[in-house]
Amino acid sequence: MRGFVIAIMLVVAFMVCGTYATANEEVKSKPVVSSEVKTEKVATPEADPSAYSLTPEEFEKCRVIYFDRCAGCHGVLRKGATGPDLTPVKTIPKGIKKIRDFIWFGTGGGMPGWGKMGTITSEETDLLTKYVMNEPPIPPQWDMKSVRGSWKVLIPPEKRPTKPEHNRDVENMFAVVLRDAGKIAIIDGDTKEVVSTIDSGYAVHIVRMSMSGRYVYSIGRDGKCTIIDLWMKKPDTVAEIRCSLDARSVDVSKFKGFEDKYAVVGGYWPPQFVILDGATLEPIKIVSTLGFTYDTEEFHPEPRVASIVASHFAPEWVLSIKETGQVWLVDYSDPDNPAIKMIEAERFLHDGGWDSTKRYFLVAANARNKIAVIDAKEKKLVALVDTGGIKPHPGRGANWVDPEYGPVWASGHIGDSVVSVIGTDPVNHPDSAWKVVRKINALSSGNLFIKTHPNSKWVWLDSPLGKKTKDRTSVVVYDKENMDAGIFKTLKVADYGKAVHMEYNKAGDEVWISIWGNLGDADKGQAGEIVIFDDKTLTEKARIPNLLTPTGKFNVYNTVHDVY
Ligand code: DHE
């Protein structure tokens, strides 16, 4: 009952001065709103709100956990996307036990068992169960004044080097996301030396490279974008900006004549994107993605920007607007007045990449088990491919030439132990274009990334969200010439953590795989490392030890030229 009284007091406090901040910010007030839950409207096993009220400290703790672990799939407002709607009207009727079991054990549909996996404790699972039965806190906006206020040029373009200050091959450098440390490691792909480790955004997510290959753009989950100059003797940040409060994607202008000119950051919250100057990150234009779902035309309060790719056919970015199910082609040739073509695709768009010709963008609508295919030349949707698996998650996918079906692109799945191979050549293989031509067994469900290289004979697949430890710590390899044979080899990569995300070096003869460990295990040398395999022999070639929680790795040449 005491908790319930505190909850009511906090509701009043929130109504007076309620604000929200991202996980790494000070929170000015915490809305613990069990009394706002409309219990009278739902037949509920938890009719008494005191069963799920939280103290202010508990609420704040859960807000951070929810931001870190849950918001990506369920949305800040919890209206659902890759994962289901978690607003109280849905969660309360399910009851505490059922919700707790979901959080602890996960689901067959791809939700990790956060408790069982040891990511959160039993007590945190109890609290989080109660948290999702409360109304979500309402996040604030982040307008141009805030964006501009966060902008810092640390080294102006005129003070930067005019040519590389080192003899390293910039094209074979790697930018490695040190996820939980909020840093980027710059590694020389030839010598395997860690040249520089640089602060970045909170739980930094991905990087992309400028067309010249000189600049690395990183994006943190807190919306902070940084630009690193690889020409410096010791590469370092030259500018930074915060474009939103929660973000996952960034890309650059790649069309001829616009190389290195602009960057774009996609926001999860607020739902918006910001066009930036490519050299200084000065913000040029902010555009909201609020709108209506493509199919039912209902207003959606949180249409997040998921993947972004840069077109090679026009000065355009291709933005996946997750919740409304649209792909936006944003023309950056006049960035103050960007023309936007909105293409109806499918809901809950997530990650994707180009086919081998870089004309077709294949993006997963993962909660609908589909891949939407966008033609960047004709600027239209050409197909919605049912992958036949649960929750396709391609990363950027993998392209190769299948002996029977010609050029193909493939995706693994989070919720299914299967790889779907899709034909991508409507000219010479029209019968197999935009169809699943092969479905191959994976090691387990819980796959996140797939990778190959034009010079390689293999396709690599990880399963960091697999249910068994041995699957999470291994990757598998398929023979492009004989996919029907299934897994050619299973390679044990790690004794701890998760083996996640493969990347080739520039030559396409090495595969780099992250072991994503825990920051807290750094003393034991188990926060993470990179294992490098010889792609020809499939044997381990080198290790880069003592890295703090590496996840995504991006080779400069391959990222610039969309080689995957
Ligand atoms: Fe990612 C790509 C969103 C969880 C590592 N991730 C992407 C993209 C999106 C996205 C929209 C495509 C970016 C692009 O191409 O422009 N990721 C999300 C989430 O919403 C989600 C599910 C949950 C969250 O809260 O963030 C999520 N992602 C993860 C992870 O847990 C991973 C494994 C480690 C981490 O950083 O937390 C992870 N995501 C990655 C990586 C890529 C990525 C390495 C880029 C793959 C590539 O090769 O391009």
Whether 451 is in a domain gets the answer: no
Torsions phi, psi of 10, nearest 5? -70, -30
Helix H segments across 424-498? Answer: 469-472
| Contact assessment for residue 442 and residue 462, using Cβ atoms and an 8 Å cutoff | no
pLDDT confidence band for 410 (50 / 70 / 90):
very high
CA–centroid distance, 294 to ligand 1, in Å, is: 24
Task: Give residue 138's pLDDT.
Answer: 85
Residue range 444-455, pLDDT digits in tens: 999 999 999 999
Does residue 45 lie in a domain region? yes
How far, in Å, CA of 92 to CA of 320, rounded? 32
Residue 59 banded pLDDT, cuts 50, 70, 90: very high
In the chain, the N- to C-terminal Cα span, in Å, equals 57
Using an 8 Å Cβ cutoff, are 161 and 231 in contact?
yes
72 lines ligand 1 (CB under 6 A): yes
Nearest to 475 by CA among 459, 485, 461: 461
Residue 3 in this model has a pLDDT that exceeds 50: no
Q: Which residue has the tokens 């004309």?
A: 359
Residue 370 pLDDT > 60: yes
pLDDT of residue 14: 31
- Taking each helix axis as running N to C, give the angle between helix 56-65 and helix 2-17, from 0 to 180 degrees, rounded to the nearest 10: 70
Question: Phi first, then psi: what are they for 470, rounded to 5°?
Answer: -65, -30
* pLDDT(223) > 90: yes
Domain count for the chain, please give it.
1
As a whole number of angstroms, the distance between CA 491 and CA 521 comes to 24
Catalytic residues: 70, 73-74, 111, 350, 393
Domain region containing 66:
2-131
Ligand 1 near 351 CB (within 6 A): yes
State the average pLDDT over residues 168-181: 97
CA atoms within 13 A on the CB side of 181: 24
Residue 220: which pLDDT band, with cuts at 50, 70 and 90? very high
The Cα 340–Cα 242 span in angstroms is: 23
Q: What is the CATH number of the domain that holds 22?
A: 1.10.760.10
User: For residue 39, what pLDDT is reported?
Assistant: 40
Tell me, yes or no, whether 96 lies in a domain: yes
Indicate if the pLDDT at residue 107 is higher than 90. no
Residue 204 located in a structural domain: no
Q: Average pLDDT, stretch 418-424?
A: 98
Evaluate whether residue 417 is within a structural domain: no
* Per-residue model confidence as pLDDT tens digits over 85-101: 999 999 999 999 999 99
pLDDT above 90: residue 24: no
Among residues 108, 167, 129, the alpha carbon closest in space to that of 45 is found at 129
Q: What is the pLDDT of residues 428-441, one digit of tens each?
A: 999 999 999 999 99
Q: Which amino acid is at 74?
A: H
Residue 470 lies in a domain: no
260-306 confidence digits (pLDDT tens):
999 999 999 999 999 999 999 999 999 999 999 999 999 999 999 99
Query: What phi, psi does 432 have (nearest 5°)?
Result: -105, -5
pLDDT tops 70 at residue 23? no
At 108 the pLDDT is 78
pLDDT band at residue 45 under the 50/70/90 scheme: low
Q: Is the CB of 551 under 6 A from ligand 1?
A: yes
Residue 15 has pLDDT above 70, yes or no: no
- Phi/psi at 194 (5° precision): -80, 110
Assess whether pLDDT exceeds 70 at residue 26. Answer: no
Burial 232-249 (b: 16+ CB within 10 A, else e): beebbbbbbbbbbbbbbb
> Is residue 69, in this structure, part of any structural domain at all?
yes
Angle between helices 96-105 and 122-131 (to 10 degrees): 130
58 lies in some domain: yes
Q: How far apart are CA 333 and CA 424, in angstroms?
A: 29
Over residues 2-14, the mean pLDDT reads 37
pLDDT at 112: 87
List phi, psi (to 5°) of 489.
-155, 140
Closest-CA residue, ligand 1 atom 23, reads: 72
For 162, 186, 466, 529, the CA distances from 159, given in Å and listed in that order, are 9, 21, 48, 34
pLDDT of residue 9 exceeding 60, the answer is: no
Q: What is the mean pLDDT of the chain?
A: 92
Return the ligand 1 atom nearest residue 221 CA: 26
**pLDDT for 48:** 83
pLDDT at 517 over 80: yes
Give the number of the atom of ligand 1 that is nearest the alpha carbon of residue 554: 48
Mean pLDDT, residues 67-94 taken together:
93
Q: Rounded to whole angstroms, how far apart are CA atoms 421 and 387?
A: 8
Overall average pLDDT of the 203-209 stretch? 97
Residue holding tokens 């795989």?
Answer: 513
